[in-house]
Structure 1
Amino acid sequence: MSEGVEWAIHTCLNLGWTESGEAVSAARLAAYFDLPAAYLNKQLQALVRAEILTSSSGPRGGFRLARDPDAITLLDIVTAIEGSQNAFQCQQLMKRGPGGRKDVDYSLECLVSQAMRHADLEWRRALAGRTIGGIKADVEDRDPDAPAITRRRLAEL
């Protein structure tokens, strides 16, 4: 998984702490993480296309969450940044091995492929079960000052 996924998750988390209706520019979000704005903007645009964020232009423009943090799953973000393809792609190596048959779809029959598909499904279920809102609540339990610190730092940039 690319670093863009991690930056996208942190960005959504931080936008969850902004004042209602406040937009934050890509430049400010990038400065928060000390990242190149052009690179982070690529991730932000992917989140806009996935309807996780909205964007507005102009002097007070920027990005904000498009929906409630409890309605944004980690799977939503991973899919927006990385796409929906499976992590494992069966190359049907069994066709080339001893006893391999050209008429068999080993991506369906191979026990290795089945195990990897099962693991991918479990990983996706786990990501779908965690939301930005849930992480936000966990962070606030651990560090009640995190929202105010985030808002102040974004305002200073």
Structure 2
Amino acid sequence: MKMSEGVEWALHTCVNLSWTDPGDAVPAARLAEVFSLPTAYLSKHLQALARAGILISTTGPRGGFRLGRDPASITLLDVVTAIEGPEDAFRCRQILKDGPGGRPDVDYRRTCTISQAMRKAELAWRTALAEQTIADVRRTVEQRDPTAPEATRERLR
């Protein structure tokens, strides 16, 4: 499964925003600057996160983005879905209907062994992402590098 680089950018941005003071909005340009990302492209992903309720976007001279929910309530799956969309990674096209012994009255999405195996794997992947939150990632980063929160806050000022 291949995801766009926007997923990585969005996840890192959510962790970085989790270290800012509640209510403080950070401009997209400043968020992009942290990792030398193109502002326009990151902004597109930030807007997707805002539409999903993960971020809140504010306009004006002190405008920007901030987390829209507690980091413990934002799962990695929430972020992936906001960026990539809710569609299944594997899409059974029911090619068995046209194969040997195929029947037009059968829904092969439900009976095909390959379709079932792929759906089982995707469910495991989605479950693993749903079990991890931005708060979990933040905690792990802080354990590995206790200076990360303050260093990030400095770069976002």
The normalised TM-score by structure 2 is 0.96
The letter of the residue matching 2:69 is R
1:142 aligns with 144
Query: Which moves more between the two structures, 94-103 or 39-48?
Result: 94-103
Query: What is the alpha-carbon distance in structure 1 between the residues aligned to residue 147 and residue 127 of structure 2?
Result: 31
% identical equivalent positions: 65
2:72 aligns with 70
- Unpaired runs of at least 5, structure 2: none
**After the TM superposition, which residues 84-95 of structure 1 pair with which residues of structure 2 at under 5 Å, given as runs?**
84-95=86-97
**One of 52, 55, 59 as aligned partner of 1:50:** 52
Query: What is the alpha-carbon distance in structure 2 between the residues aligned to residue 92 and residue 73 of structure 1?
Result: 32
Query: What is the alpha-carbon distance in structure 2 between the residues aligned to residue 37 and residue 127 of structure 1?
Result: 27
Aligned-pair CA distance for 1:151? 0.8
1:111 aligns with 113
**One of 125, 133, 136 as aligned partner of 1:123:** 125
1:11 aligns with 13
Query: What is the alpha-carbon distance in structure 1 between the residues aligned to residue 148 and residue 34 of structure 2?
Result: 14
Aligned-pair CA distance for 1:105? 1.0
TM superposition outliers: structure 1 runs of 4+ over 6 Å: none
The letter of the residue matching 2:32 is A
Aligned-pair CA distance for 1:91? 1.1
Structure 1 counterpart SS, 2:140: helix
Query: What is the alpha-carbon distance in structure 2 between the residues aligned to residue 108 and residue 66 of structure 1?
Result: 38
Query: What is the alpha-carbon distance in structure 2 between the residues aligned to residue 105 and residue 55 of structure 1?
Result: 43
Query: What is the alpha-carbon distance in structure 1 between the residues aligned to residue 118 and residue 136 of structure 2?
Result: 28
Aligned-pair CA distance for 1:20? 2.3
Query: What is the alpha-carbon distance in structure 2 between the residues aligned to residue 35 and residue 134 of structure 1?
Result: 24
CA root-mean-square deviation? 0.8
The letter of the residue matching 1:121 is L
Aligned length in residues: 155
**One of 132, 135, 143 as aligned partner of 1:133:** 135
Query: What is the alpha-carbon distance in structure 2 between the residues aligned to residue 117 and residue 20 of structure 1?
Result: 39
The letter of the residue matching 1:83 is G
CA deviations 1:91-133 (Å, max 9, x no partner) are: 1121222111111111111010001111111111111100000
The normalised TM-score by structure 1 is 0.96
Query: What is the alpha-carbon distance in structure 1 between the residues aligned to residue 71 and residue 139 of structure 2?
Result: 10
**One of 9, 31, 40 as aligned partner of 2:42:** 40
